[in-house]
Structure 1
Amino acid sequence: MGEWGFLGTVFEGLQDHAPMLGRFWLFLMLVFRIVILGTVASDLFEDEQLEFSCNTLQPGCKQVCYDKAFPISQYRFWVFHIVLIATPSLVFVMYATHHNSKKAKQPKSKRSILQNYIEDRRLRRLYIVNVIFRIAAEVGFLVGQCKLYSFEVPAQYPCNRFPCPYTVDCFTSRPMEKTIFLYFYFGVGVLSAFSSIVELFYSSVKWFCCNLENFDLDDSTCENLQNLRQDLSGKKTTSDSRGFLTVYVILS
């Protein structure tokens, strides 16, 4: 499980910015994917090529038949799936860390409060993009699993590829156990995709379709933002105030 340690660090950083539904997806990812894949699946699929046998001694026949039966190992397919989903999360955590460090260095003022509000909106937009990419990856890999493996690992594969001298029968190890794991991982993928879709709609409505007062800001911050609105709507004629107001109206 040591090779999965860096993903645990990424998901811990993502948890600080994710809503409740996002934390549920993290729970599914950490427990039902990374932990299960690193313990059960690694032992289940480590001998699949070694135990794959064909009823012929023709050199090369076993290798080409295995390649036909398993274009890509299920285990490596799921590892690639996890890494691909974790990549946008890593980008988001890096940006969020930079945002928080920059925010901590700014002096507290009305202008910095508005800048922090604008940065928070950008951070939330980036999180939404992360969720959209996650949904696309989830659906894409579900379709890929159906195309590559269907829902069953057959115990017997007929194969007639060159250099096999005739149609030979090849046999896999523990086909029923692997079939059960296929169903399990597909079910986890469906649940993860569904939770991500719900999270996308929930976060979009909560963060971007509500008024400013509904955001997660304390009372003093809301009061400062309201005062800043009034100041910006006054009759200031300096170019700096007009430019800043334009930026505020556009980004709000």
Structure 2
Amino acid sequence: EWGFLESVFEGLQAHSPMLGRFWLFLMLVFRIVILGTVASDLFEDEQLEFSCNTLQPGCKQVCYDKAFPISQYRFWVFHIVLIATPSLVFVMYATHHNNKKAKRPKSKRSIIQNYIDNRRLRRLYIVNVMFRIAAEVGFLVGQCKLYSFEVPAQYPCDRFPCPYTVDCFTSRPMEKTIFLYFYFGVGVLSAFSSTVELLYSSIKWFCCDQENFDLDESTSENLQNLRKDESGKKTTKLCYLKNMLMLFCF
């Protein structure tokens, strides 16, 4: 149900930066609301109103399957559900993280652990955004290949059991064509905003991380040591990959 997806995105909003909230606005208003209102009425009778100039039993069904391998409406609903799945996983993890954080007593150890958990939470969010971009681009390509940018008013069909090449006709082709353009434009805007969000969040959170903690000197030193250990591990991994490439080349 749309209400379940809305609750998932509302939970995601609490952990998203400003660009992420803009993407959520696109999802809730220009996708979920419009698909649940306008598109449902536009596409619910598409198979019923699809007609062919023959009474041969089964011809209409096979021609409809050729014209629409998958309904545009179901294609877009599947798109939203696929994008919502990693977001649901992130919201579940974030809720679990916040519950653990609230139960910890205030101490130096808990502050360091909260710092580590926050970085893990941010990394999971970055993975969520990367999956979102891949899904957006994949469905944009799929929409282009399946439907192009036009719903023709007439389909010639010669599939069995049609006795000859028959002409089939769709209902409201111009409305559906306009909706194809609209949904493709929303997809391009969503993919672009997600890409900008990925770059901005990665730079802000991991390259220019300037978190301010109300800590004493010893706890701050522990955090600095932790950051040095993390950077050292990254350098070691890069050196290992470099050596492997050199061995492979020679």
Shift of 1:68: 0.1
Are 1:69 and 2:61 counterparts? no
Residue 5 of structure 1 aligns with which residue? 3
Once the two structures are superposed, what CA deviation does each residue of 1:129-181 show, in whole Å capped at 9, x if it has no partner?
00000000000000000000000000000000000011000000000000000
SS at match of 1:169: strand
Are 1:227 and 2:218 counterparts? yes
Residue 43 of structure 1 aligns with which residue? 41
* Moved >2 Å (runs of 4+): 221-224, 229-233, 247-252
CA distance in 1, matches of 2:192, 2:223: 43
Is the CA contact 1:28–1:192 (under 8 Å) kept in the aligned structure 2? yes
The equivalent position to 1:114 in structure 2, one of 108, 112, 117, is 112
SS at match of 1:50: helix
* Matched residues, number: 231
Are 1:94 and 2:85 counterparts? no
Is the CA contact 1:118–1:251 (under 8 Å) kept in the aligned structure 2? no
Write out aligned runs for 1:133-212 (5 A).
133-211=131-209
CA RMSD between the two structures: 1.5
Identify if the C-alpha distance between structure 1 residues 170 and 132 changes in structure 2 by more than 3 Å, giving closer, same or farther: same
Shift of 1:249: 4.2
CA distance in 1, matches of 2:214, 2:142: 48
Letter in 2 for 1:68: K
Letter in 1 for 2:17: P
SS at match of 1:49: helix
Once the two structures are superposed, what CA deviation does each residue of 1:4-43 show, in whole Å capped at 9, x if it has no partner?
1111111111111100000000000000000000000000
SS at match of 1:170: strand
SS at match of 1:27: helix
Residue 125 of structure 1 aligns with which residue? 123
The equivalent position to 1:250 in structure 2, one of 226, 229, 233, is 229
CA distance in 2, matches of 1:52, 1:231: 69
Q: Percent identity?
A: 85
Letter in 1 for 2:27: M
Shift of 1:227: 3.2
Unaligned runs of 5+ in 1: 234-244
TM-score, scaled to structure 1? 0.88
Most deviating of 202-211 and 126-135: 202-211
CA distance in 2, matches of 1:185, 1:178: 10
CA distance in 2, matches of 1:111, 1:30: 40
CA distance in 1, matches of 2:221, 2:26: 46
TM-score, scaled to structure 2? 0.89
Letter in 2 for 1:159: C
CA distance in 1, matches of 2:195, 2:152: 33
SS at match of 1:133: helix
Letter in 2 for 1:100: N
